[in-house]
Structure 1
Amino acid sequence: MSDDALLDVRDLVVRYGDMTAVDHVSFTVAPGETLALNGPSGCGKSSTALAVLQLRRPSSGEVLFEGRELTTLSERELRPVRPRIQPVFQDPYGSLSPRHRIRDAVAEPLKVQGRWNGTDGPVCVAELLDRVGLDPSYGDRHPHELSGGQCQRAGIARALASEPRLLVLDEPVSALDPSVRAGVLNLLADLQDELGLGYLFICHDRAVVRHFADRVIEMREGRVISG
C-alpha cells in the first residue's frame, strides 16, 4: 500500500454469476484527491464502487481503507468503518425517503451511530445544511418540495454527517439539469479543500471528468484500459 493512500484497491474482481463485471482492477486514492472512473454504461464503474463500499462483496481482490483490509471483515466488523466511507448516489430523489423530512434524512446517520441527542442534534443538522448551501429551513421540507440540485445537496449533507474521509460519488450530477451541475461540483470541490476528503468519482461524461478529477482511469468491459 502506498504510504499516502487513503484507499488501495488491488486486483478487484466482481462477478454476477458467470458474468465478470470487474476484472482485476487496481487503483489508489490519496487524501484530498479525486480519482475518476470513466467509461460507458456497463463497463464496471458502479460495480467497482459497490465493492469499495462493501455493498457488493467482491469475488476476489483486496480493498484497503486507511490500511485495513475490508473484504475479510464481517458485517459487524465493518460497522465502525462504514461511517468513514460514504456514498452519494446518482438519483437525488431516490436516495432520500419521500416520507421523511430533510432534517430527518440528514440526522439518520447520527442516530444510527448513537451520536444524536435532543439538545444539539437539530443544531448539527442546521449546520450541515448550511455547509452544503441550503437554508436550514429546508430541513422542514420533504424531498418532493426540493429541486434535484437541492436534494443532491441534502444527500451530500447526510454523507457529511458521518464525518467521512472518503466519498464514493456515483454519477452525482448526471441526473441534474446542466444549469445546476456546476454548482454541485463547485460545492464538492470546496468541501474537499475544507475537509481534505478523498473522492472516488464515477462518471461517464469526459468533459465533467476532465474538469473535476485529479486523475482518471478509463474502463471498458470491466477492465482498466488507461490511467
Structure 2
Amino acid sequence: MTDDALLDVRDLVVRHGDVTAVDHVSFTLAAGETLALNGPSGCGKSSTALAVLQLRRPDAGEVRFEGKELTTLTERELRPIRPRMQPVLQDPYGSLSPRRRVRDAVAEPLKVQGRWSADDGPARVAELLDRVGLDPSYGERRPHELSGGQCQRVGIARALASEPRLLVLDEPVSALDPSVRAGVLSLLADLQDDLGLGYLFICHDRAVVGHFADRSVEMREGRVISSWPPR
C-alpha cells in the first residue's frame, strides 16, 4: 500500500455462482483524488464498487481503507467504518423513499449513527441541503416533487451527513440530462476541493471520465485491461 492511499484494492475477486464478475482487480485511490472505473455494462464495475463498500463480500483479495483491511472484519467491526465510505447511486428517484420527506432522508444517517438531537439536527439538515445547492425549504418536499438533478443532490447531501472520506459514485449522472449532469459534476468537484474527499467514480461514458477523473482504469469482462494515464 502506498503511503498516501485512502483506498488500496489488491487482487479483488467477486464471483456470482460460476461467473467471475471481478477477476483480480487492483487499484489505489488517494484522498482528494477521483479514480474512474470505466467500461461497458456488465464488465464488473458495480460489483467492484459493492465489494469496496463491503456490501458484497469479495471471494478473494484485499480492500484496505485508511490503512485497515476490511475483508477480514466482522459486520460489527465494520459498523464504525461504514459512515466514512458512502455510496451515491445511479437512480436519483429509486435511492429515495417516495413516502418520506427530503428532510427525513437526509436526517436518517444522523439518527442511525446517534448524532441527531432535536436542538441542532434540523439545522444540520438545512446546512447539508444548502451545501448541495438546494434551498432548505426543499426539506419539506417528497422525491416526486423534485427533478432528477435535485433528487441526486439530496442523495449527495445524505451521503455527506456521515462526514465520509470516500464517496463511491455509481453512475451518478448517467440518468440526468446533459445540462443537469454538468451542474452535479461541478458540485461534486467543489465538494472534493472543500472537503478533500476521495471519489471512486463508476462510469461508462469516456467523455465524462476524461473531463471529471484524475485517473481511470478500464475494465472488460471483470478485468482491468488498461489505465490512464499510463504508469
TM range (shorter): over 0.9
Equivalents in 2 of 1:177, 1:207: separation in Å? 15
Equivalents in 2 of 1:219, 1:104: separation in Å? 37
Tell me the residue number matched to 1:200.
Answer: 200
Q: Deviations over 1:30-68 (max 9, x none)?
A: 000000000000000000000000000000000000000
Could you tell me which amino acid in structure 2 is paired with residue 96 of structure 1? Answer: L
Could you tell me which amino acid in structure 1 is paired with residue 68 of structure 2? Answer: R
Cα shift at 1:177: 1.1
SS in structure 2 at match of 1:199: strand
User: Which residues of 2 match residues 29-48 of structure 1 at below 5 A?
Assistant: 29-48=29-48
Equivalents in 1 of 2:148, 2:177: separation in Å? 8
User: Which residues of 2 match residues 77-156 of structure 1 at below 5 A?
Assistant: 77-156=77-156
Q: Deviations over 1:109-132 (max 9, x none)?
A: 000000000000000000000000
Q: Report the identity percentage.
A: 87
The ranges of structure 1 where at least 4 consecutive aligned residues each deviate by more than 4 angstroms after the TM superposition are: none
Equivalents in 1 of 2:224, 2:73: separation in Å? 26
* Structure 1 runs not aligned, ≥5 long: none
Tell me the residue number matched to 1:9.
Answer: 9
Equivalents in 1 of 2:99, 2:119: separation in Å? 24
* Structure 2 runs not aligned, ≥5 long: none
CA-based RMSD: 0.3
* TM norm structure 1: 1.00
Tell me the residue number matched to 2:71.
Answer: 71
Matched, 1:56 2:56: yes
Cα shift at 1:178: 1.2
Tell me the residue number matched to 1:167.
Answer: 167
Q: Deviations over 1:5-52 (max 9, x none)?
A: 000000000000000000000000000000000000000000000000
* TM norm structure 2: 0.98
Equivalents in 1 of 2:226, 2:108: separation in Å? 39
Matched residue pairs, number?
A: 227
Tell me the residue number matched to 2:188.
Answer: 188
Equivalents in 2 of 1:49, 1:96: separation in Å? 20
Equivalents in 2 of 1:72, 1:143: separation in Å? 38
Could you tell me which amino acid in structure 2 is paired with residue 218 of structure 1? Answer: E
Could you tell me which amino acid in structure 2 is paired with residue 223 of structure 1? Answer: R
